[in-house]
Each structure stands twice: as C-alpha cells, then as structure tokens.
C-alpha cells in the first residue's frame, strides 16, 4: 500500500522511514492500517458505549440502602445521604419524621405571622387607595412557606433514624410505605449488606 508524501507527492510505502527519500523532509506518515496500535484504536471506536455499572442497592418507599450508605430519595435523586462509616446505630421508628420538629414549627409560625401582616397591610393600602409596595406583596408568599414548614414539622410516618459522629438523621419513608413491607426491606438489607437495624414499636398497617 502506498501513500503520497505531503510535500513532494512521491509515493511512500507503509514500510518507509520517517523521511521522504525524494525530498528528504519528514513525511509525517503514520500507517493506520497496520500494527497493533491501529487495530486497537479501530476496535475501541467500533465498540458500543457502555456506562459504568450502578452500585447494587435496595429501594423501598423512598429509601435506598447500599453496602456503603443509606439515603432518602426525592424521586431518583438522593435528598439526604448517611455514609455507613458514620452510622453507629440505626433504628426503624414511627412518629414525627422531622428531627427538629419544634424548631421547624416555630419557624413556620413566624413565617405565617409575617405573611398575614403583609397581607393585612396590602389590603389596607388597597382600600385606602395608597401606594402598594412590592415588599408587602412578596411578603404574602411567606404564608405558603410557613404552612409548608408547619406541615413538615407535624408530618408523621415511618423513618430510619441513624446516630453517629456526624449527629442524628431521620431518613423518611413515603406515606404509602407499609410496616410489613418495610420489615421485609430491612431484613433483606441486613442479609445482603450486614446492617444491624433495630425495630422500634409503631402501628402496623
């Protein structure tokens, strides 16, 4: 097989040296059709793309357990993740799912109070025909945030509580999670990954 020299056009074979025998300049020729390097490059290009394998895991009710971590999910995205190295104790519980329910309740109440104040001030300005401030208009949206905070503080359900050097976390199961299925889920996680998860009393549904 021959290829032209890029400088003088002389025919070069795949066995030619780096310099053209006619003009003496570097031919920059690289035999793509021969040799193990070229063959390996073609094989790599022809192979279909294969994504890296996902880590083996168990999922139920919005909680994912792997050999290295436990996570609460928001759809498919981890919302809260606790690494196994940071878990000294893990227990299934039922009750208020927020670890800081009282603080969240107070925070929500303050937001609602500020939102109501903004709404009353805005209504007063409208009734008097005065100038309406955008600050008070935006302030009324605090009612929505406050109601959400109160709801989150009062929400009850099943959760996995972990304690360790990084503090306490509660990984919450969804509203439709059932105790019998949760027990099966945790038992399988214990069998596969060697976790030790305590079971605390709660309603069976």
Question: For the segment 120-178, what is each residue's pLDDT rounded down to a tens digit?
Answer: 887 777 777 766 677 667 777 888 888 878 877 777 889 999 999 989 899 989 888 89
Chain-wide mean pLDDT for the chain?
A: 76
User: Is 11 domain-assigned?
Assistant: yes
User: 186 burial class (0-12, 13-18, 19+ CB within 10 angstroms)?
Assistant: buried
* Residue 123 CA: distances (Å) to CA of 80, 127, 132: 41, 6, 9
| Domain extent for 84 | 57-97+155-199
Tokens representing residue 178 in the block: 């059932």
* Verdict on whether the full-model pTM lies above 0.85: no
Residue 70 shares a structural domain with residue 163:
yes
Q: Which of 135, 150, 165 is the last residue of a domain?
A: 150
Confidence bin at 102 (pLDDT 50/70/90): confident
User: Is 182 domain-assigned?
Assistant: yes
Residue 106 shares a structural domain with residue 92:
no
Q: Which residue has the higher pLDDT, 195 or 26?
A: 195
Question: For the segment 11-52, what is each residue's pLDDT rounded down to a tens digit?
Answer: 766 544 566 777 666 655 444 344 445 555 445 445 554 454
Number of domains the chain is built from = 3
User: Is 204 domain-assigned?
Assistant: no
Residue 77 shares a structural domain with residue 146:
no
DSSP assignment of 25-60, as one string?
SB-----TTSSHHHHHHHHHHHSPP-PPPPPPEEEE
User: Is 205 domain-assigned?
Assistant: no
User: Is 33 domain-assigned?
Assistant: yes
């Amino acid at each position: 097989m021959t290829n032209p020299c890029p400088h003088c056009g002389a025919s070069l074979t795949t066995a030619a040296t780096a310099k053209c025998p006619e003009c003496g300049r570097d031919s920059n020729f690289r035999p793509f059709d021969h040799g193990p390097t070229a063959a390996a490059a073609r094989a790599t290009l022809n192979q279909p793309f294969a994504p890296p394998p996902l880590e083996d895991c168990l999922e139920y009710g919005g909680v994912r357990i792997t050999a290295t971590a436990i996570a609460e999910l928001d759809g498919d995205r981890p919302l809260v993740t606790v690494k196994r190295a940071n878990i000294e104790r893990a227990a299934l519980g039922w009750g208020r799912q927020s670890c800081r329910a009282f603080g969240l309740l107070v925070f929500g109440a303050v937001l609602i109070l500020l939102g109501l104040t903004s709404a009353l001030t805005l209504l007063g300005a409208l009734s008097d025909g005065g100038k309406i401030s955008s600050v008070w208009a935006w302030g009324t949206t605090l009612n929505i945030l406050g109601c959400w905070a109160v709801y989150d503080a009062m929400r009850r359900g099943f959760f996995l509580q972990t304690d360790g050097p990084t503090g306490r976390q509660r990984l919450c199961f969804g509203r439709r999670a059932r105790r019998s299925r949760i027990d099966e889920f945790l038992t399988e996680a214990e069998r596969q990954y060697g976790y030790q998860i305590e079971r605390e009393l709660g309603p069976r549904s």
